[in-house]
Structure 1
Amino acid sequence: MKRAIYLFMSTFVFFSCSSQEQVTNKEVVENYSNIVYANYQDVHTHAIALRKVIISFLENPTESGFAKSKEAWILARKSYGQSEAFRFYGGPIDGENGPEGQINAWPLDEAYIDYVAAENTNVNIINSPEKFPEITTAFIASMNEKGSETNVSSGYHAIEFLLWGQDLSDGPGAGQRTYLDYIEGEKGSAKNADRRKKYLLETVNLLIKDLNSVMAAWEPNQQNYRAKFVANPDQSIEKIVSGLGKLSKGELAGERMFVAYDLRSKEDEHSCFSDNTHNDIVANAKGIENVFLGKYQSFTVENNISGPSIFDVLKQKDQVLADELKKTIATGIAESKKIEAPFDQQIKEESGRAQIAKTIGLFRKQGDLLAATASKFGFQFDPEAI
């Protein structure tokens, strides 16, 4: 009898302690919102820094100033790439009226914005002053994807093209635009340097405006999207998990990697002008891990976050699935870091293609595992439907 009582009490204590440690959907959603806001703060800060460097360059165009502008763009992509884990569920960034198309649309038809090799320089926006006399943020926004999805006039990749120019090399090497393109009448420069300067500056201004609107939607203690998101934790968990799954399989493994890999096409890689695609892939993969584990390592120390996560709730439902997904995500990041630069050369070489294919497989697997996770939360989604 004493032994039976002891076992009963031990069991009672075990379950009592376990219940106290249960992580709730609401706690996960609140921590997720903190991560989103901190990440977008970094994204916005990096965009402001990019504008500062570009303004300095435009006021006095030099080769070193041009190089610094490119460095600032690459840094800005690191934080933005992680933030793409907050997409694919109709949130502030890519909902019906979201600015994602103005922020990160690609692929981009270079001839829509500026001169390109073997093309008439008078058929694009910058080199058509009679047709497009004033270049403003509103004008650039109005021209984005006008007439075609590849008629991209704004965002990170428009800025990338204006800094690097076309990548015309068959071998390693990014675009070779010269800083002289920003000096009117300079020997060796392209025409309409002043319009090009104006276009670059206004595109950065538009980017900051759009990023600010997204960041404001996630600001705490406001009557905004975040307030509604936190108030509906079960619905929001569905958005979080499906967003991660769609980014993993449909977007990252599919559109951003497999298309270029399958076609061996540099025109279909994400950051084709700067050869920054390999870093974009790692940043996206890291963003997925941030959300799944409920952690964010900020670019500014005071914004570091760690709290209740999808992983915590999932392991309460299925420890084996939770551990497998955690391991798959970590392995995907590790393997993505092994993809050497530049990506457009790796899709041609046997060893590079093998590494890319291996990484694609891992991202597809984690997308499927996230779909399996969804079933544990009582809903379904297609990870390839982006």
Structure 2
Amino acid sequence: MTALQRAFRCGIALTFALALSPTTHADTSPRAVLEHYASLVEANYDDTLAGIRELQDAVRSFVAAPSEAGLQKARAAWLEGREWYGQTEAFRFYGGPIDGEDGPEGLINAWPLDEAYIDYVEGDANAGIINNRKEDISPDRLNELNERGGEENVATGWHAIEFLLWGQDRSETGPGNRPYTDYLDGKAANADRRRLYLITVTDMLAAELEGVAKAWRNGADNYRASFVASGTEGIQRMLTGLGTLSRGELAGERMEVAMDTQDQEDEHSCFSDNTHRDIVANAKGIQNVWEGRYRTRAGRIIEGPSLKDLVAAQDASVARTVSQDIANSVALAERIQAPFDREIIGDDNSPGRKRVQAVIDALKKQTDALVEAARALGITRLNTSV
């Protein structure tokens, strides 16, 4: 376990305790809740951007002089960035800046990814954009190629970078093991194009996330300003984001599908074997929003008026149930063991599958509680499907 993950786990334990104890804030009006939510979103995206900048630096250093140490540093930066980005998934699913009609989410976190669309794979040394020297590697062209001809033809974003750093995962006990020599001229075919591709998609990811973060900056004529002024509609968006991530996306697309197929290709971060941490970060993001509480990379606590407070003013019992259910989901998510692709193998009585199923069941239960919370606020229809 890394130092970051230990700190993250300590934060989860503390938030579990706080979730079960009452909190009060001076102003729990919808406007105050929306304003605090926007501040929390801004802080989480700022932390994500800080992680991405560290990844950019690590990638640039590695590309300039490929080495095993440089590759390991880039991988570590990718993993660090995912811890913060994963929590931002709670800000999706309601047509906001990241996944609205013109939002960039498909360029940021699209998956699953067909490895052969980007680079060589086992059995096909000439596969992918990298090995087609007639194909341009540029931001404009990779934008055009992303998901072109099929949803799995992913050319950009977190998982494209992940594949370029780890390669295919052919191990039952660990992640992919792409050699750093893939990036050395004379050691691997098209190493120059692989270097260009890696640095290009990393910079593209940083640019797309900067655009999303800008939409949430305070004091500007942007999405944040209209969101804070949206009243009940904004509260419904917050609850829709939490409910959809809980049930349709995290429990459904990201966990149930993999449980049904028992296929490594259906796990979220299959090259790095980071799926277990993706699940924790997503669950934690839901808790952050509900509780109105976020621990930054620097360890600062941002806390204020929350959905929990708003619901508690109408029905304290419902608010308490939601808090308990969400805290339980986070705690159970922490128990999933790496690698996730081995947790899902076997019959339904296997220990790994039981651990994963417990999280799925807990997420479904918390979704039902969130629907009740919405009703307490007069929101009679809450969409929780993707």
Does the alignment reach a TM-score above 0.5? yes
Task: Indicate the residue corresponding to 1:144 in structure 2.
Answer: 146
8 Å CA contact retained: 1:126, 1:192: yes
Task: Please identify, of 146-155 and 19-28, the stretch whose mean Cα deviation from structure 2 is larger.
Answer: 19-28
Correspondence for 1:73 among 67, 75, 78:
78
Distance 1:347 1:63 in 2: 31
How much does 1:234 deviate?
1.3
The aligned length equals 360
Q: Which residue of 1 aligns with 2:133?
A: 129
Q: Which runs of 5+ in 2 are unaligned?
A: 1-23
Superposed counterparts of 1:222-261, under 5 Å: 222-261=220-259
Q: Which residue identity does 2:167 align to in structure 1?
A: G
Q: Superposition pairs for residues 199-218 of structure 1, below 5 Å?
A: 199-218=197-216
Q: How has the CA–CA distance of structure 1 residues 307 and 148 changed in structure 2, closer, same or farther, with 3 Å as cutoff?
A: same
Residue 260 (structure 2) pairs with residue 262 (structure 1): yes
Q: Which of 314, 317, 324 is residue 320 of structure 1 equivalent to?
A: 317
Deviation of 1:317 (Å): 0.8
Identity of aligned residues (%): 47
2:69 aligned partner? 64
TM superposition score normalised by structure 1: 0.91
CA distance in 1 between counterparts of 2:385 and 2:259 reads 20
Q: Is the 8 A contact 1:367 1:383 kept in 2?
A: no
1:118 aligns with: 123
Structure 1 unaligned runs (5+)?
A: 1-18
Q: Distance in 2 between matches of 1:79 and 1:235?
A: 27
CA contact (8 A) 2:51 2:80 kept: yes
Structure 2 CA distance, aligned partners of 1:207 and 1:141?
11
> C-alpha separation between the residues in 1 aligned to 2:25 and 2:154?
52
The RMSD of aligned alpha carbons is: 1.4
The Cα of 1:383 is off from its aligned counterpart by 4.6
Question: Which whole-Å CA distance do the structure 2 matches of 1:247 and 1:204 have between them?
Answer: 26
Query: How far apart are the structure 2 equivalents of 1:248 and 1:208?
Result: 26
Report the Cα distance in structure 1 between the residues aligned to 2:285 and 2:43, rounded to whole angstroms. Answer: 12
- Cα distance in 1 for residues equivalent to 2:380 and 2:339: 37
Corresponding residue number in structure 1 for 2:305: 308
CA deviation after TM superposition for structure 1 residue 140, in Å: 1.1
Shift of 1:316: 0.8
| Matched-pair contact (CA < 8 Å) for 1:242–1:381 | no
**CA distance in 1: counterparts of 2:62 and 2:380, whole angstroms:** 50
In 1, the alpha carbon distance for the partners of 2:286 and 2:101 equals 23
Give, in angstroms, the shift of residue 123 of structure 1: 4.0
CA distance in 2, matches of 1:37, 1:341: 31
Does the Cα contact within 8 Å between 1:249 and 1:368 map onto a contact in 2?
no
Which structure is larger by alpha-carbon Rg, 1 or 2? Answer: 1
CA contact (8 A) 2:130 2:193 kept: yes
SS in structure 1 at match of 2:169? coil
CA-CA distance at 1:380 after TM superposition: 3.6
Could you give the per-residue CA deviations for residues 165-211 of structure 1, whole angstroms, max 9, x where no partner exists?
00122x2111111000000112xxx3100000000000001101100
Displacement of 1:337: 0.3
Residues in 1 aligned to 2:240 and 2:166: alpha-carbon distance in whole angstroms: 35
Per-residue Cα deviation, 1:234-293 (whole angstroms, up to 9, x for no partner): 110000011100000110000001110111111100000000000000000000000000
Q: Find the counterpart in structure 1 of residue 283 from structure 2.
A: 285
Code of the aligned partner of 2:367: G
The whole-number CA distance in structure 1 between the counterparts of 2:99 and 2:284 is 20
Q: Distance in 1 between matches of 2:120 and 2:230?
A: 49
Residue correspondence of structure 1 range 1-386 to structure 2 within 5 A: 23-119=28-124, 121-130=125-134, 132=135, 134-169=136-171, 171-186=172-187, 190-301=188-299, 304-349=301-346, 350-386=350-386
Give, in whole Å, the separation in 1 of the partners of 2:96 and 2:231: 14
- Using the TM superposition, name which of 70-79 and 364-373 deviates more: 364-373
Alignment check: 8 A CA contact 1:23 1:308 kept: yes
- Distance (Å, rounded) in 2 between the aligned partners of 1:381 and 1:108: 34
Distance 2:204 2:159 in 1: 13
CA distance in 1, matches of 2:344, 2:151: 25
4+ aligned runs moved over 6 Å, structure 1: none
